Amino acid sequence: MKTLKLAIVAPCYNEEDMLPLSAPRLIDLMESLKADGRIAHDSFLLFVNDGSRDRTWQIIEELHQKNPMCHGLDLSRNVGHQNAIMAGMQTAVEGSDRADGVITIDVDLQDPLECIPQMIDDYYKGFDVVYGVRSSRESDSFLKRFTAESFYKLQATLGLKTIYNHADFRFMTRRVVLELEKYEERNLYLRGIIPMIGFPSTTVNEVRAEREAGTTKYTLRKMLRLAFDGITSFSITPIYFILGLGASFILIALCIAIYVTVSLLKGSVVPGWSSLMLSIWLVGGIIMISVGLVGLYVGKVYIETKHRPRYHINRRLG
Ligand code: UDP
Ligand code: MG
């Protein structure tokens, strides 16, 4: 088998604190993999600058000057983690670079580099996709762990096939990236799409480490967005839930109708104000939630029909 030409893709958003620490480690890893003969000598690192407002791009430029193995991709603005990864992967397998495989890893290196040699060994065994799976999240805060794990469980209940506790640390061969490009959706949720592509795949277990420098770039807002995208892009179960809710309300209304008729026949006068107010608010609320939820899907259709580009490349190094 031909030696693998590997590209390691790392998305960076305001990572001036973390990048100077993680870049040397990634470079060392690449050197040792090359020395082992595990990967080809023209393998490279690709740092994707996702519209950072700090010195991230300057740092990437310095890295490139010092070591031509470090490539850089500068996006024109912040497009988010998922789109930044996509930009990096597409660039790495296309054009003159034509990497045979890519590994995506967050630049904070919370996913351990030690798993990478194993991912490469799995490639030589014939796997096209190797998922990094977080077997321990002890270093994460309780809130992060709880929200992340409940989210993975919720997805499973909603019928979405994802790899439990897998984030975006994975190996993919060139052909999988090319297949991935056929998915034209703009609400990218890679963890949901990649299992749909198929091809032989396996997992490596990892222990998630703590972020060493800088702070998390996933604000609560970004996390919620990703969660919503993950569900609404793949499942229409929430719509069925609303149907069920509507049906039970009709049932309740039927019971109330019987009650009203009976009291009317009995001749007892019902003051009615409180029950009326209650129903107005309740029904109004339900309708609003329903409309909002339908709106979520309509919103998606709206975005998808535009077929807008996912990102724009400003500059390219290497
Ligand atoms: N990131 C990005 N664009 C964004 C937000 C984050 O490229 O809009 C990158 C960030 O630089 C990091 C990775 O995505 O390499 C994951 O972010 P982070 O480590 O902050 O998330 P967490 O591990 O806390 O979920
Ligand atoms: Mg992180």
Note the pLDDT tens digit of each residue in 8-36: 999 999 999 999 999 999 999 999 999 99
CB of 141 sitting under 6 A from ligand 1: no
Cα–Cα dist 129/112, whole Å: 17
CB of 139 sitting under 6 A from ligand 1: no
Between the alpha carbon of residue 188 and those of residues 22, 303, 306, the distances in Å are 26, 12, 14
Split at pLDDT 50, 70, 90, the class of 293 is confident
* Nearest-ligand number for the alpha carbon of 217: 1
What is the reported pLDDT for 146?
Answer: 85
What is the reported pLDDT for 273?
Answer: 64
Phi, then psi, of 285 in degrees rounded to 5: -65, -45
Say what the pTM is.
0.78
Split at pLDDT 50, 70, 90, the class of 277 is low
Pocket test for ligand 1, best of 22, 169, 218 (most atoms within 8 A of CB): 218
Phi, then psi, of 307 in degrees rounded to 5: 50, 50
CB-CB contact of 233 with 192 (8 Å): yes
For ligand 1, what atom is nearest to the CA of residue 214?
20
pLDDT exceeding 70 applies to what percent of the chain?
Answer: 97
What is the reported pLDDT for 247?
Answer: 78
Q: And the tokens for 245? A: 């809710």
For ligand 1, what atom is nearest to the CA of residue 217?
20
CB of 263 sitting under 6 A from ligand 1: no
Q: Which residues of 222-248 are buried (b: 16+ CB within 10 A; e: fewer)?
A: eeeebbebbbbbbbeebeeebeeeeee
For ligand 2, the distance from its centroid to the CA atom of residue 62, given in whole angstroms, is 23
Per-residue pLDDT tens digits for 47-91: 999 999 999 999 999 999 999 999 999 999 999 999 999 999 999
**Nearest Cα residue to atom 19 of ligand 1:** 216
Phi, then psi, of 52 in degrees rounded to 5: -65, 150
CB of 50 sitting under 6 A from ligand 1: yes
For the chain, how many residues are written?
318
- Interstrand relation of 6-12 and 44-49 (parallel, antiparallel or unpaired): parallel
* Nearest-ligand number for the alpha carbon of 10: 1
For ligand 2, the distance from its centroid to the CA atom of residue 214, given in whole angstroms, is 10
Split at pLDDT 50, 70, 90, the class of 270 is low
* Nearest-ligand number for the alpha carbon of 88: 1
**Nearest Cα residue to atom 1 of ligand 1:** 81
**Nearest Cα residue to atom 13 of ligand 1:** 106
Between the alpha carbon of residue 252 and those of residues 121, 143, 245, 258, 284, the distances in Å are 60, 38, 11, 10, 15
Give Cα 87 distance to the centre of its chain. Answer: 14
CB of 15 sitting under 6 A from ligand 1: yes
What residues have their beta carbon closer than 5 A to ion ligand 2? Answer: 106, 108, 110
CB of 111 sitting under 6 A from ligand 1: no
Phi, then psi, of 13 in degrees rounded to 5: -130, 115
